[in-house]
A and B are shown apart, each in its own frame.
Chain A
Amino acid sequence: MKKLPLYFILTVIAAVMLYPLLWLAGASFKSNEEIFSSIWFMPDSFDLSVYFKAWETVTPYTMGHYFINTFLIIIPKTLFAVISSVVTAYGFARFDFPFKRLCFALLMGAMFMPAIVTIMPAYLMWSKLGFLDTYVPLTLPALFAAEGSFVFMLIQFFKGIPKEFDEAARIDGCGALRTLIHILIPCLRPVIVSISVFTFLWTMNDFLTPLIMISSVEKYPLSLALRLSADSTGNGYEQRKILAMSVIGLIPSIAVFTAAQKKFLSGITAGGLSG
């Protein structure tokens, strides 16, 4: 009985947190008058045709096209981030080497570097190399353990794996790399899930980098396509289309998070990292 007030407070907060999202989903089915006349999220009727129209977008390409573009960025980026972060963290966690303290300080320093300071020279560099308007600037940095927080999280995890595991593998004749692949990586699964989920979510959310690096609409990821549609849309029915597009745009992030949330939250629990 003592718990009742707590449940009540938690439910009220949860309602405040989730209502805007529910309202967005509901509003995509509503007419303009309905949106502006009722605070209740439920629409009077469900007319799915707005979603077919939204899928077509107001640009020359469908949302499917932009989804494919987004995944063409996310898939290599995730692979790169996982491989490079694991290898780097392995070096820091299990080996002693010259300038180790300095290297670790650089890792921490890079984490706190504001993106806005480095973006213009990076833009000029990619421009000189001829990689503007390709996905290279969006994906390639991930191959170099660009996300220090991932390495940091992995190092914490490596520390939790007994060194005897490595030694046993070595007695069986495994080298450093084979020990990593066969013995350590299976233990790291929860963090690898967390890293992949974070990379997915952050790439879905990233706006500034593609805005600067990608110029042709054909190559736009979802975020830029949404922006373009929102900017070139008038009132009335078109607004519902934008709301529906937003709903479609949010579904992958919410779905991936919900599917992975148990493993994902336990991964960040251990590493102390979060969005």
Chain B
Amino acid sequence: MKKRTYSNPVGTSKFTGLLLVSPFLLGFLLFTLYPFVSSFILGFTNYDGTRDAHFTGFDNYKTMLSDSSFRKSVWVTVKYTAILVPLKLAVSLLTAILLNAQIKGIGIFRTAFYIPSILGSNLAVVIMWQFLFTTGGLIDQLTLWLGLPSVSWYGEPGNALFMIILLRLWEFGSAMIIFLNALRDVPKEYYEAAKVDGCGGFRAFFRITLPLLKNVIFLNLVLQTIAALQEFNAPYMLTGGGPMKGTYTIGMLIYNEMFRYNNIGFANAVSWVLFVLITVIVYLMFLITGRTRKEKP
């Protein structure tokens, strides 16, 4: 076997780099790997925070299969992700294309579109959303003004979930910035050539923009899907998971089982199922788009 050589600047050795990244490695062991493994082990126990834990084999996983709240939460989470992510990608891509125009004052618009996303799940924003959608609130008045029937946002499960989707959609700025950066790298000549060939705006979009942005669209798809599958803050603060568990995401279930009902073993088993679910969905995305053999974008 050939011995590997390390090329490093004069005066440093192959251990200099290792020394520099050692805080990260230590942190990884303490704050990622250790909790990750111990969560896996806890998932096979009946630990409740007070009594000693006992190994119960696959009991937690069997309970899950027959637990209607669990099944409901998986369905809610998948539905939420499947509606939110495509909407968010479409809105952020279209606004990024508009913002890519070289016109005066575009910076102001960019800032305006980005501000909601920096506020993220800030509690103040959630309180604002609560007031906007409350009975007789701004949204109610708007629908009335437009002559539409009044919508019960908190009373009907589907509407409550849609209210949360709208909150996250409002925060499309972070995905938009990623698209905007990618669009900046598309050579202007491509569009000019398309124009010469009589290719209009729409066709140029489908023939030039979309193919060139393939990798960035995929990156955003993965990032947004991972975030959506973990949704906890918005339902926790806006709806408490209701009505009729219509917004009871897996994140909500884990939190409640963990800190409210003290079913710590069960909660950790569920969090592992969530982890596996995220991994499988992301892996499928790589598989379907034929990216498994290639390097990461």
Contact = CB atoms under 8 A, between A and B. Distances in A.
Interface of A: 3, 6-7, 9-10, 13-14, 17-18, 20-21, 23-24, 27, 35-39, 84, 87-88, 90-92, 94-100, 103, 106-107, 109-110, 112-122, 124-125, 141, 143-146, 151, 166-167, 170, 175-176, 201-202, 204-205, 207-208, 212, 222-223, 226-227, 230, 239, 242-243, 245-247, 249-250, 253-254, 257-258, 261, 265, 268-269, 272, 274-275
B210 interface: no
A170 B8 CA distance: 12
A226 B124 contact: yes
A272 B39 contact: no
A71 to B, nearest CB: 16
A212 B35 CA distance: 15
B11 A141 contact: no
Interface stretch (B60-68, B82-90, B103-111): B103-111
Nearest to B259: A212
Given A94-B9, A116-B254, A253-B119, A20 B170 contact: yes
Contacts of B120: 201-202, 205, 275
Contact of A265 (B6, B177, B233): B177
A223 B174 CA distance: 22
Given A3-B103, A103-B25, A121-B39, A114 B275 contact: yes
Interface residues of B, number: 95
A106 B278 CA distance: 17
Given A95-B8, A121-B42, A176-B16, A114 B170 contact: no
B158 interface: no
Interface string B43-83: 00000000000000000000000000000000000000000
B32 A227 contact: no
> Per DSSP, are chain B's interface residues mostly helix, strand or loop, or mixed?
helix
Given A21-B128, A116-B232, A250 B119 contact: yes
B186 interface: no
A112 B36 CA distance: 12
Contacts of A124: 38
Interface of B: 4, 6-12, 14-21, 23-28, 30-32, 34-36, 38-39, 42, 95, 98-99, 101, 103, 106, 108-125, 127-129, 131-132, 136-138, 141-142, 145, 170-171, 173-175, 177-178, 181, 184, 226, 229-230, 232-233, 237, 251, 254-255, 258-259, 264, 267-268, 271-272, 274-275, 278, 282
Contact of B98 (A10, A87, A106, A175): A10
Given A39-B142, A97-B16, A144-B30, A20 B128 contact: yes
A24 B128 contact: yes
A275 B26 CA distance: 26
B103 A115 contact: no
Contact of B109 (A10, A114, A275): A10
Contacts of A13: 95, 98, 109, 113
A247 B38 contact: no
Most buried by B among A91, A226, A269: A91
A106 B18 contact: no
Contacts of B111: 258, 261
Nearest to B254: A116
B136 A117 contact: no
A88 B128 CA distance: 39
Given A91-B21, A96-B6, A204-B122, A120 B268 contact: yes
A6 B101 contact: yes
Nearest to B101: A6
Contacts of B21: 88, 91-92, 97, 103
Given A110-B28, A121-B39, A144-B24, A116 B251 contact: yes
Contact of B32 (A88, A110, A261): A110
Q: Give 8 closest A-B pairs by Cβ, nearest first.
A: A144-B27, A95-B17, A91-B20, A97-B17, A246-B124, A118-B35, A121-B35, A275-B174
A245 B275 CA distance: 36
Contact of A230 (B116, B127, B233): B127
14 contacts: A13-B95, A17-B113, A18-B112, A24-B128, A84-B27, A91-B16, A96-B6, A98-B14, A114-B230, A114-B271, A117-B275, A121-B268, A125-B34, A239-B131
Given A87-B20, A120-B271, A275 B7 contact: no
Contacts of B254: 116
